[in-house]
Chains A and B, each alone.
Chain A
Amino acid sequence: MDVLKKVPVREQDPQVRATNFDEVCLGYNKEEAMEEASRCINCKNAQCVKGCPVSINIPGFIEQVKEGNIEAAYQVISESSALPAVCGRVCPQESQCEGKCIRGIKGEPVSIGKLERFVADWASENGIKPAVNAEKKNKKVAVIGSGPAGLTCAGDLAKMGYDVTIFEALHEAGGVLVYGIPEFRLPKTDVVAKEIENVKSLGVKIETNVVIGKSTTIDELMEEEGFEAVFIGSGAGLPKFMGIPGEQANGVFSANEYLTRSNLMKAFKEDSATPIMHGQKVAVVGGGNVAMDAARTALRLGAEVHIVYRRSEEELPARVEEVHHAKEEGIIFDLLTNPVEILADEDGWVSGIKCVKMELGEPDASGRRRPVVIEGSEFVIDVDTVIMSLGTSPNPLISSTTKGLDINKYKCIVAEENGQTTKEGVFAGGDAVTGAATVILAMGAGKEAAKGIDEYLSNK
């Protein structure tokens, strides 16, 4: 074994997986996990923990994996995280825990994400649940949204003994984990549903089909239903469009719509009641993780897929692993390319996307080099489907119906480190506060808010 290298993880062959929705990464088995765990040098001042937004005791759980004590490893992770099987799959470990790993200075870091995933999957297969040991506090807390922030906040509060109810607008719990991230990256039944069951096993109740701001309001929850504190983890669900001509043509979708149809409504299955457009040639506009998800979904539905992104490969906001997987599967990257118009036929269906070539100029406010149009470089890519994946912003439904809840100019809820908003007893975290970010940052915010709420209710 080369101690400088990660134990390789088994994956589905790119050619095969490009035609199915089964999970791409197959994960470690116990032997592989124990071997990989043995690469951890158990640093005294562990940097990896500092890189983890929910501060999992990483050397602690890896130490247990080394010894083959997987159940003990699971309980170590569970002290800090309610969704390890999810995080092991979708966290950007390369810029967090693994990015700080001392092993990474000379060689590859310990494969912390894959180890976390192995431990969580093993616990699920063996029916191990997170331990519950809190005394009931007899205080009601409402959590709005059942995505990563809400589930984490609810799980932590339940562990502290609070009586927690999650309100979810859709018919199924999970938020972005069920409507946004595709099956081939995050299996719904085997992974997401099971982790939600674990949160429920802590005593958390989930009421689906409740749109806060419409079905009821935060003020009503607090004044009429006896909730003493509220956590808003409603995410950033509003899609952005470019505002270019032709965007209303048939065959132009937001990534949110396309992915919601495929993931939440299961439109990728042939017998699904909900339809999805099966394009022949698809352009996905954008370069983030959501763009990669939309592109790889369209590919699996049988299309030739182009990622159209206005900067260069270096600036792609998507995780390196996702870009790598997309390329392996045959996604075509049209970089330094920006759409200016969507062309439609006489019946209103997309027939092409007119683009211009870009070059990189001086760095802009984000520190990335600003893309500049090359004059006279217009050209058309023939496509029948365009998926806009330009980012999302928070939904104003809650902020506009809650008295005294301030938002900033980006429509994000204003909150302190501990989640406290401008309204007493109301906390917020995740994408609703930061704008679109990652699952793990939302979980970190949910965790901080759970502490904030506990402190608030303890002193009340």
Chain B
Amino acid sequence: MYKIVRAQELTTNIYLFEVEAKRAAKTCLPGQFVIVRTDEDAERIPLTISDYDREKGTITIVVQTIGAGTMAMANLKAGDAFHDFVGPLGQPSEFCSEDIEQLKQKKIIFVAGGLGTAPVYPQVKWLHENGVDADVIIGAKTKDLLIYEEDMKKVAANVYATTDDGSYGRSGMVTTTLKDLVEKEGKQYDVCVAIGPMIMMKFVCLTTKELNLKTIVSMNPIMVDGTGMCGACRLTVGGEVKFACVDGPEFDGHLVDFDQAMKRQQMYKTAEGRALLKQQEGDTHHGGCGHCGGDK
């Protein structure tokens, strides 16, 4: 069992858990993920690492309640435990193995959308600790759904918050802010890292292609084992089949076949389930239902 030392509701339907996982906390790096199970009969749920503390031996994960499995997690409190917690899985972010001096020369922009803000945090923090200060765009539907803004400000050079409805920060989609920064505000970037719903990452990639800006995305397809065994998470990158769990989860966004990946996301959503999902996800709905055209 893996003890929860801190549990916190960050905003509606988004929960943070800091979990004792000594082996994983010792070796993990930004970009990697873990797989958790709440109880003996639960699904294996992959979650990108949102923070880690090597001394305390803890890993932080942030979860959005979207199905029965994540709903069950929402009820967990500090002092409870996860039945299973395995990691770190996948490859660390590319920059973790780059030469630090060369990295310091690079201007990096992170584009974080919704829940995706959580896994962006350890990357920006790692860079900060290594003397590299990056810019971060955080996008959310409304002010209330914005997460990690204060934490991010402590480790980033600049944080640009944007809300779809203009209730806080800039107004509009993350892609608008990204374009404005580069085209109107004189910002220059060498690399963009985009993490959020697949539909957001797809549109960020379309934008950065126009801007001729290399873009890394973190893919979160359906998985079972997370160690390369099942192939459920396979996607096409630059015409080649890759397994997100062992080859990724981060890939060159300009090479990812997002349309295929989004179709594969719907594999276990029945027609009935899709309707329910659209209803439940409401404002956070991002095309996974396959009916709204968001993925077309």
Contacts from A to B (Cβ < 8 Å):
169-171, 179, 208-211, 214-216, 237-239, 241, 243, 247-248, 250-251, 253-254, 256-257, 260-261, 265-266, 272-275, 277, 347-348, 395, 397
A247 partner residues in chain B, CB cutoff 8 A: 241
B232 partner residues in chain A, CB cutoff 8 A: 253-254, 257
**B69 close to A214 (CB less than 8 A):** no
A36 to chain B, nearest CB (A): 39
A222 to chain B, nearest CB (A): 16
A211 partner residues in chain B, CB cutoff 8 A: 86-87, 89, 227
Contact code string B17-52 (vs A, CB < 8 Å = 1, else 0):
000000110110000000001000111100000000
B273 to chain A, nearest CB (A): 9
Known contacts A239-B231, A260-B230, then 16 further A-B pairs from the complex at CB < 8 Å, ordered by chain A residue: A169-B227, A210-B86, A211-B86, A214-B88, A216-B26, A237-B227, A237-B229, A248-B234, A254-B230, A257-B224, A260-B229, A265-B43, A273-B41, A273-B68, A274-B224, A348-B260
Q: Is residue B264 within 8 Å, beta carbon to beta carbon, of the partner chain?
A: yes
| Known contacts A261-B224, A273-B69; is-contact A256 B229 (Cβ 8 Å) | yes
**A214 close to B241 (CB less than 8 A):** no
**B229 close to A248 (CB less than 8 A):** no
Instruction: Name the prevailing secondary structure of the B interface residues.
Output: mixed
Task: Give the distance in Å from the alpha carbon of A209 to the alpha carbon of B1 in the complex.
Answer: 10
Query: In the complex, which residue of chain A has the Cβ closest to the Cβ of B22?
Result: A215
Query: In the complex, which residue of chain A has the Cβ closest to the Cβ of B82?
Result: A209
**B246 close to A215 (CB less than 8 A):** no
Query: In the complex, which residue of chain A has the Cβ closest to the Cβ of B89?
Result: A214
B231 partner residues in chain A, CB cutoff 8 A: 239, 241, 253-254, 256-257
A391 to chain B, nearest CB (A): 13
**A250 close to B44 (CB less than 8 A):** no
Contacts from B to A (Cβ < 8 Å):
23-24, 26-27, 37, 41-44, 68-69, 83-89, 224-225, 227-232, 234-236, 241, 246, 260, 263-264, 266-268, 290
B290 partner residues in chain A, CB cutoff 8 A: 347
What are 10 residue pairs bridging A and B, where the CB atoms are less than 8 Å apart in the complex? A169-B227, A171-B84, A171-B86, A179-B225, A209-B86, A237-B227, A260-B224, A260-B225, A273-B68, A395-B228
Partner of A265, one of B86, B224, B241, B263: B224
B42 partner residues in chain A, CB cutoff 8 A: 273
| Known contacts A210-B86, A216-B27; is-contact A265 B267 (Cβ 8 Å) | no
Query: In the complex, which residue of chain B has the Cβ closest to the Cβ of A257?
Result: B230
Task: Give the distance in Å from the alpha carbon of A34 to the alpha carbon of B24 in the complex.
Answer: 53
A397 partner residues in chain B, CB cutoff 8 A: 227-228, 246
Most-contacted residue by chain B among A243, A272, A274 (CB, 10 A): A274
A106 to chain B, nearest CB (A): 46
Task: Give the distance in Å from the alpha carbon of A434 to the alpha carbon of B37 in the complex.
Answer: 33
Query: In the complex, which residue of chain B has the Cβ closest to the Cβ of A170?
Result: B225
| Known contacts A170-B225, A209-B86, A256-B231; is-contact A265 B44 (Cβ 8 Å) | yes
B41 partner residues in chain A, CB cutoff 8 A: 266, 272-273
**B68 close to A238 (CB less than 8 A):** no
Query: In the complex, which residue of chain B has the Cβ closest to the Cβ of A251?
Result: B267
A169 partner residues in chain B, CB cutoff 8 A: 86, 225, 227
Most-contacted residue by chain B among A210, A238, A273 (CB, 10 A): A273
B296 to chain A, nearest CB (A): 11
Partner of A248, one of B44, B86, B260: B260
Task: Give the distance in Å from the alpha carbon of A221 to the alpha carbon of B86 in the complex.
Answer: 17
Task: Give the distance in Å from the alpha carbon of A254 to the alpha carbon of B89 in the complex.
Answer: 21
A250 partner residues in chain B, CB cutoff 8 A: 263-264, 266-267
A265 partner residues in chain B, CB cutoff 8 A: 43-44, 224
**B230 close to A239 (CB less than 8 A):** yes
B69 partner residues in chain A, CB cutoff 8 A: 273
B228 partner residues in chain A, CB cutoff 8 A: 237-238, 395, 397
Most-contacted residue by chain A among B37, B44, B88 (CB, 10 A): B44
B68 partner residues in chain A, CB cutoff 8 A: 273
**A208 close to B89 (CB less than 8 A):** no
Partner of B44, one of A171, A238, A243, A253: A171
B27 partner residues in chain A, CB cutoff 8 A: 214-216
Task: Give the distance in Å from the alpha carbon of A260 to the alpha carbon of B23 in the complex.
Answer: 25
B87 partner residues in chain A, CB cutoff 8 A: 211, 214-215
Task: Give the distance in Å from the alpha carbon of A238 to the alpha carbon of B290 in the complex.
Answer: 30
**A215 close to B227 (CB less than 8 A):** no
Task: Give the distance in Å from the alpha carbon of A250 to the alpha carbon of B87 in the complex.
Answer: 28
Task: Give the distance in Å from the alpha carbon of A160 to the alpha carbon of B264 in the complex.
Answer: 50
| Known contacts A211-B227, A239-B229; is-contact A248 B241 (Cβ 8 Å) | yes
